[in-house]
């Protein structure tokens, strides 16, 4: 789970993470803890969409027009933000609304941005995503896939960038996501309750320490936290330089074909995740061990053909990987 989250911060185009697991295993806590590790990005000042001043795909129409007219754009640095999407949110709250009255009387497109606008270039976290209304899940996944959100009301249409890392979590006892929706998440992590008594005791002790003195416990891990944050920043810069050989890409596609994975998302996500983990390990070349570490997370949720079938633990993916690559990792 931690690896999948970190790789998505390094390369947001991996497509997000779906985390399923037992109650009380720290899914939400881990996702929210990611905020402390997030690097800073440059955004246009007073822009509701966190527009990137240098990337046309990540800026609003207004900012693009200013740049085309050679107007000065003020910017500032801010941390990547995480937006929580509550279960009871309406479609208007998620997508944003158009003030029809103002549009008709004043002739301007009065748009009230929603959560998708706020989450642009950040993380959108949906707890209990398997309980979210299907139409809202469709809206989220369409925006996550295209990178844009379009709101249409009474012949008025407004589009804005909505490129975010979609993170969902849930308890499989409360119902699974439909296979076609699962496929839209780049990676899938399965979390189980810790069985070893000494690890359980360690977790309970740390929780007790946190309840007693949160600041003291945070200070103990501040150095390790900063080290990890710096490593993620360096990996984000290195990621575009990382190369993956043609033979490795061929073998990844062979694994996907052998596993009968529908579509090509599995191939794309595995390649991107392999490059992200190589960057995280401070290397410019992907090696088979990188692929072995990420391929179960990228493919395990894409193997299920029957909605009643349970999601593979990852062993099937690893077995086929070893067969195709002809090595023991």
78 is an active site residue: no
Q: Does residue 312 sit in helix, strand or coil?
A: coil
Backbone angles phi, psi at 79, to 5 degrees: -70, 150
- Extended beta strands in 123-269, E state: 123-127, 148-153, 156-161, 165-170, 187-191
Q: Which of 239, 265, 300, 302 is catalytic?
A: 265
Which residues are paired to 76 by β-bridges?
Answer: 43
Q: Is the dihedral of CA 291, 296, 300, 303 positive or negative?
A: positive
HSE-CB for 218 with a 13 A CA cutoff: 6
Integer CA distances (angstroms), 6 to 3, 129, 163, 277, in order: 5, 20, 17, 9
Counting DSSP H helices and E strands in the chain, the numbers are 15, 11
Catalytic residue positions? 265
């Amino acid at each position: 789970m931690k690896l999948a989250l970190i790789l998505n911060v390094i390369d947001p185009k991996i497509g997000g993470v779906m985390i399923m697991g037992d109650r009380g295993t720290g899914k939400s806590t881990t996702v929210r803890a990611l905020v402390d590790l997030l690097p800073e990005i440059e955004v246009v000042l007073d822009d509701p969409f966190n527009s990137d001043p240098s990337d046309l795909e990540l800026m609003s129409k207004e900012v693009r027009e200013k740049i085309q007219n050679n107007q000065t754009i003020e910017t500032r640095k801010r941390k990547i933000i995480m937006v929580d999407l509550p279960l009871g949110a309406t479609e208007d709250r998620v997508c944003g609304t158009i003030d029809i009255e103002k549009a008709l009387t004043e002739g301007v497109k009065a748009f009230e941005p929603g959560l998708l606008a706020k989450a642009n270039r950040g993380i959108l976290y949906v707890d209990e995503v398997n309980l979210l209304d299907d139409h809202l899940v469709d809206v989220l996944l369409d925006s996550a896939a295209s990178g844009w959100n379009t709101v249409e009301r009474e012949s008025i249409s407004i589009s804005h960038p909505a490129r975010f890392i979609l993170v969902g979590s849930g308890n499989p006892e409360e119902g699974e996501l439909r296979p076609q929706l699962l496929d839209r998440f780049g990676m899938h992590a399965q979390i189980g309750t810790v069985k070893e008594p000494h690890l359980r005791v360690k977790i309970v002790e740390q929780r007790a320490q946190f309840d007693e003195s949160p600041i003291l416990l945070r200070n103990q891990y501040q150095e390790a936290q900063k080290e990890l944050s710096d490593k993620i920043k360096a990996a984000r810069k290195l990621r575009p330089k990382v190369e993956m050989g043609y033979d490795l890409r061929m073998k990844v596609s062979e694994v996907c074909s052998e596993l009968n994975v529908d579509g090509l998302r599995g191939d794309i996500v595995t390649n991107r995740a392999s490059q992200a983990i190589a960057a995280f390990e401070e290397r410019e070349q992907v090696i088979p061990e990188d692929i072995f570490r990420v391929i179960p997370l990228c493919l395990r949720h894409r193997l299920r053909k029957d909605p009643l079938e349970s999601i593979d633990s990852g062993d099937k993916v690893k077995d086929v990987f070893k067969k195709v690559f002809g090595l023991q990792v």
